[in-house]
Amino acid sequence: MNPIIAVTYSFLFGLLHGILPDEHTWPITFSYAIGGGSGKEGMKAGLYFSLAFTFQRAMISELSYLALAPFVFSINRYIYLIVGGVMFIAGVIVLKRNIYPHLHILGHHHMDSKNMEKSYKILSTECDGCDPQTSAPPVQWTLIHGFIAGFGFGGFALFVNTVAAPIMPDAWFGFLPGLVFGLGTMLMLVIIGALFGMSLKWFGSLTENDIKKIGSETGGRTLFFGGLLFIIAGFLTMMGIDIRLPFISDYTLISFFMIGVAIPAFVYSYRQVIKTKRQKQQ
């Protein structure tokens, strides 16, 4: 294989990596994209995540060219744990902002009337015309997620770092396979993020405030419970337990996330907002 073909394959594998339900890309992109409640915010979620991911992949590709790949691969088993921890913390922050005082994840809190009024005014000025209790997960956080998630290695990344990077002509081009792999992932995640973000608008009966509320609470819950899922998977992997199931193989974790976390979180948030909306109308 010559360098040009290796770089081309790296880009094509990046496209596949972005469009296939991957445990490092879809859960995070979904959480932040749906939290933004619009196609534009969804595109930002996919873009920011993949920007950091691309930078990290280019760096690892260069290290692989310099024959440091074995050291990098040795930390792969800890990635689930770290990714899960960051998701969990982000979910706690978002849920505390959104569901106060109805759901107290970290215990009961009390706020006097002056502070409550002050908080209401601040949120009202930041989000003119929307529900002052709504707080979407800040899309810039995906930069952190993207950089950390880049240390996970699947089949596509193995090709980039063990086949494509080592055959680059010299160290000045060692980063190139990782860069184009990240760019391919970026292209697909921007499209997928936009679809996730605009999906709430397909429910015609929802107002703009309803969409923001459902999206932000769904995003917070998927980060919170998805983070717990990744932490559990990380501990099991460190203990030498294979979490893959024969009939879904490498897609075990993403399947559990979508079926056990993302869909229930959306259904619950949707029902809660509709229920509250009906109560106000009565």
Higher pLDDT, 186 or 282: 186
Q: What is the Cα–Cα distance from 26 to 36, expressed in whole angstroms? A: 15
pLDDT digits (tens, 9 = 90+) for 33-83: 777 767 777 788 888 888 888 888 898 888 888 876 556 555 656 777 888
Higher pLDDT, 117 or 187: 187
Domain boundaries, position 79: 3-281
Q: What is the Cα–Cα distance from 83 to 254, expressed in whole angstroms? A: 13
Structure tokens of 17?
């990596």
pLDDT for residue 179 is more than 90: yes
pLDDT digits (tens, 9 = 90+) for 122-175: 334 444 444 545 556 677 788 888 777 766 666 777 788 888 888 888 888 989
Q: What is the Cα–Cα distance from 170 to 75, expressed in whole angstroms? A: 26
Q: Determine the pLDDT at residue 4.
A: 92
pLDDT for residue 176 is more than 80: yes
pLDDT digits (tens, 9 = 90+) for 253-263: 777 888 888 88
CA angle 13, 24, 45 (to 5 degrees): 95
Alpha helices, H only, the chain: 3-19, 26-36, 39-65, 69-73, 79-99, 113-126, 142-149, 155-159, 176-198, 208-238, 252-257, 263-281
Structure tokens of 213?
């509320």
The average pLDDT across 166-194 equals 88
| Residues in a beta bridge with 245 | 249
Alpha helices, H only, 21-134: 26-36, 39-65, 69-73, 79-99, 113-126
Structure tokens of 231?
């932490």
Type of residue numbered 58: A
Assess contact for 189 and 49: CB atoms under 8 A: yes
pLDDT digits (tens, 9 = 90+) for 195-248: 877 777 776 667 777 777 888 888 888 888 888 888 888 888 777 777 666 555
Q: Per mean pLDDT, which of 6-15, 19-28, 127-136 is the most reliable? A: 6-15
Q: Determine the pLDDT at residue 67.
A: 72
pLDDT for residue 185 is more than 70: yes
pLDDT for residue 11 is more than 90: yes
Overall domain count for the chain: 1
